[in-house]
Structure 1
């Protein structure tokens, strides 16, 4: 019976924004396409710029590369299908494609959480034990730590996906979301195992989000305490400026999620359109804004970028004068 149910569900339909009038489909698809282009261009630029510029190949900026790769992959996994829905009317996604998208959505979110933890560790050692920073944090060590950040959630998410695949699907095949996620897919399943899968996935999510968050909060509180103890005001501001990009990036990732989870916990309900909009915003906004934060809030990247632009402008003026 389970096999019959599984084979009957051959595809899902992405609902998107249910209250959106068809006359706005073109505008929404254009907006989402613009968001995707910002994500793709911004994060590819960061990857190429840091890897090309030897002066930026330091532990902190290598972490930025891992974040940029995560953001780029997340946007590529989630946005093309919802753009196709509103642009070409293609809202059907194969069952296996939906499961694969669900895996990457949750895996990339979990990996991002652990990468942010590595970034917090980098700033913690740089500010709290600066004399030991060159010995404790090197490019190789950061690469290994980021490798663990990518690997730790992998077996957990594979286990969750395998459990989802065993569920019998006997309800609607409509995904009330802009992309496939665990809640949307499991809500179309039936049987006693659904609750077990949802509980297991909740435990995995809490582990992958709350454990890094607890460490991040501890590190930044420690950093703030150390900064406040500094007697030199100039040194205090300079030290604080070195970790403001990381704080911005971390807040962009965690605060909207915490707001949505807290709202659900206290019983504050959103309409379906608002809920989908909130999830889309906290999923994609950091991916689009992070490259801007890297460029304008990180002194080394900003100075190097301005130097390159100035050199290019001078070169163009010389050629024109000749």
Structure 2
């Protein structure tokens, strides 16, 4: 391994350190399947919403932004680790690793702000429904989602350039399946490492906890409104309109909170378990979200069923002719 800062030109992606070589093919196939699920699912849901004029509504526009984010995240992280176990290609360039680190944390922050927009949409729709048509339009949601992509950009760029100022004098091993802030700074040395780590943590927590605070407020307010409804049918109908958003938000935040709390109370995971947990909360939502859109969102579900029935009837007519 390279240990001299002036000669460091690349990093070595370690992946799962405890994995036996005989399982490399199986793991690469599994990761490839996960990537296919992410790519096919999110491309399908984006194309379906775009092509169906009946779905050109604010909340489905938010789904498209989230699908684009999930697709981009999977594309920027999975191919390299698949190549490691499939082709034995474990090397990533120095600047390529920093670029990957930037996008990993940038896209995670964007997801957090998009979930905030999603919560705002449901909060206004349920808590102040009379104002919903005025306050929430396709244009409004587009602007809000634009800010969701824009706000984390300078913050994550600042983190990346701050890390670039550090001298790297340790082994060039990334103990992870992709380059992230912790794995890169662990290879740095000098008195500034702690300052960079604390600064980066504060900015990251801002991008995660600020949206989470509003998201919690929104869904608590929504639940309070639902509980005040007089009829059971009204409660179920109203709750069903925000069930997909709640599922998606929980998939993003709960595993992260579990890992952070476990670390805070001193519960130490093995490297392999830690990597699996990180992959789980990073990639599992991206693969599962399109399924939630299709089966937990009534408009998308009904439109999809109608489309499938029309297609089947058309095929049966052609066959009968």
Q: TM-score scaled by structure 1?
A: 0.98
Alignment of structure 1 residues 25-174 onto 2, 5 Å: 25-174=24-173
CA distance in 2, matches of 1:5, 1:100: 21
Runs of 4+ with deviation above 3 angstroms? 4-7
TM-superposition CA deviations, 1:241-275 (whole Å, max 9, x none): 00000000000000000000000000000111100
* Aligned twin of 1:256: 255
TM-superposition CA deviations, 1:48-72 (whole Å, max 9, x none): 0001111001000000000000000
* Aligned twin of 1:311: 310
* Aligned twin of 1:300: 299
CA distance in 2, matches of 1:163, 1:281: 28
How far the C-alpha of 1:175 sits from its partner, in A, is 0.3
CA distance in 2, matches of 1:5, 1:249: 44
- Given that 2:121 and 2:136 are in contact with CA atoms closer than 8 Å, whether structure 1 keeps it comes out as yes
How far the C-alpha of 1:166 sits from its partner, in A, is 1.0
CA distance in 2, matches of 1:9, 1:264: 31
Give secondary structure in 1 for the equivalent of 2:269.
Answer: coil
Give secondary structure in 2 for the equivalent of 1:12.
Answer: strand
How far the C-alpha of 1:7 sits from its partner, in A, is 3.9
* Aligned twin of 1:184: 183
Q: Which runs of 5+ in 2 are unaligned?
A: none
* Aligned twin of 1:14: 13
- Given that 2:38 and 2:286 are in contact with CA atoms closer than 8 Å, whether structure 1 keeps it comes out as yes
How far the C-alpha of 1:164 sits from its partner, in A, is 1.0
CA distance in 1, matches of 2:144, 2:270: 40
- Given that 2:127 and 2:222 are in contact with CA atoms closer than 8 Å, whether structure 1 keeps it comes out as yes
CA distance in 1, matches of 2:192, 2:64: 39
Alignment of structure 1 residues 199-238 onto 2, 5 Å: 199-238=198-237
Give secondary structure in 1 for the equivalent of 2:11.
Answer: strand
Q: Which runs of 5+ in 1 are unaligned?
A: none
- Given that 1:6 and 1:167 are in contact with CA atoms closer than 8 Å, whether structure 2 keeps it comes out as no
CA distance in 2, matches of 1:270, 1:261: 12
CA distance in 1, matches of 2:280, 2:131: 39
Give secondary structure in 1 for the equivalent of 2:242.
Answer: helix
* Aligned twin of 1:193: 192
* Aligned twin of 1:284: 283
CA distance in 2, matches of 1:160, 1:202: 9
CA distance in 2, matches of 1:245, 1:264: 29
- Given that 1:171 and 1:189 are in contact with CA atoms closer than 8 Å, whether structure 2 keeps it comes out as yes
* Aligned twin of 1:175: 174
> 2:307 matched to 1:271?
no
- Given that 2:4 and 2:170 are in contact with CA atoms closer than 8 Å, whether structure 1 keeps it comes out as no
Give secondary structure in 1 for the equivalent of 2:176.
Answer: coil
TM-superposition CA deviations, 1:200-226 (whole Å, max 9, x none): 110011100001001000000000000
Q: CA RMSD in A?
A: 0.9
The count of residues paired between Structure 1 and Structure 2 equals: 319
